[in-house]
A and B are shown apart, each in its own frame.
Chain A
């Protein structure tokens, strides 16, 4: 059973398009995250939701909009895709944000914008 799953695994699209990435966790966690890993493998947090409430919103273009319909799901919608959006996007989850629990990562979605 996959703990944190993401769909799709690969996404190839053209500049200007709008796309979504979905994430689901079956660990019973109440906090979920989106990270971006660039071509040099540098990993940076983008957003975090705790009990469906946005609690971390880093300096990310407003073309990126996360949505959490419930505690087990966190989706990422990207409008007007640009070449610089090409990266691997990881979803993660953890127990309560107000603590020190480790985060569990999904397998990643490799986004390629052409």
Chain B
């Protein structure tokens, strides 16, 4: 069965410092991996995705993520955090054996707090 784990409920980082939000996954086939961000009282916004190819994926707002097949991880990173990055971040996975229905399984979310 597909699953996604985000082991940290909250990540605290000082503005200007690098940030990492962790995600590990479990699928039967090959994973399609996504990161979304949710600001308060808003819908989810797509940040980036990994489908195939280069393990380092670059996305919106300076975020990037590294796919590691051996560790079944897809951690979200940013070299220099901004206070405006404070939000709820969701990792999601789709199994390429899901019958083609684009069924995303979401992690529980990680709250990122960037302090001035």
Interface pair A45/B104, CB less than 8 Å apart: yes
Cα A96 to Cα B42 in complex, Å, equals 25
Beyond A45-B104, A56-B101, A108-B43, 9 additional pairs, beta carbon < 8 A: A41-B108, A43-B109, A56-B103, A90-B43, A90-B44, A102-B34, A102-B49, A104-B46, A105-B36
Interface pair B49/A100, CB less than 8 Å apart: yes
Cα A101 to Cα B34 in complex, Å, equals 10
**Interface residue ranges, B against A (CB under 8 Å):** 32, 34, 36, 38, 41-46, 49, 51, 88, 90, 94, 96, 100-104, 106, 108-109
Cα A56 to Cα B101 in complex, Å, equals 7
Interface pair A105/B102, CB less than 8 Å apart: no
Chain B residues near A97: list those with CB within 8 A: 100-102
Listed from nearest, the 3 A-B pairs whose CB atoms lie closest are: A98-B100, A105-B43, A105-B44
Given known contacts A105-B43, A108-B42, A42 and B102 CB-to-CB distance under 8 angstroms: no
- Complex: chain B residue closest to A105, CB-CB: B43
A77: Cβ under 8 A from any B Cβ: no
Chain B residues near A90: list those with CB within 8 A: 43-44
Please tell me the number of chain A residues within 8 Å of chain B, measured between CB atoms. Answer: 28
Interface pair B90/A107, CB less than 8 Å apart: no
**How many A-B Cβ pairs are below 8 Å?**
61
The residue from A100, A106, A108 contacting B94, defined by CB atoms under 8 A apart:
A100
Chain B residues near A99: list those with CB within 8 A: 100, 102
Interface pair B108/A31, CB less than 8 Å apart: no
Cα A40 to Cα B106 in complex, Å, equals 13
Interface pair B102/A98, CB less than 8 Å apart: yes
Cα A99 to Cα B104 in complex, Å, equals 12
Interface pair A105/B49, CB less than 8 Å apart: no
- Complex: chain B residue closest to A110, CB-CB: B41
Task: Tell me, rounded to whole Å, the shortest Cβ–Cβ distance linking A70 to chain B.
Answer: 19
Interface pair A41/B109, CB less than 8 Å apart: yes
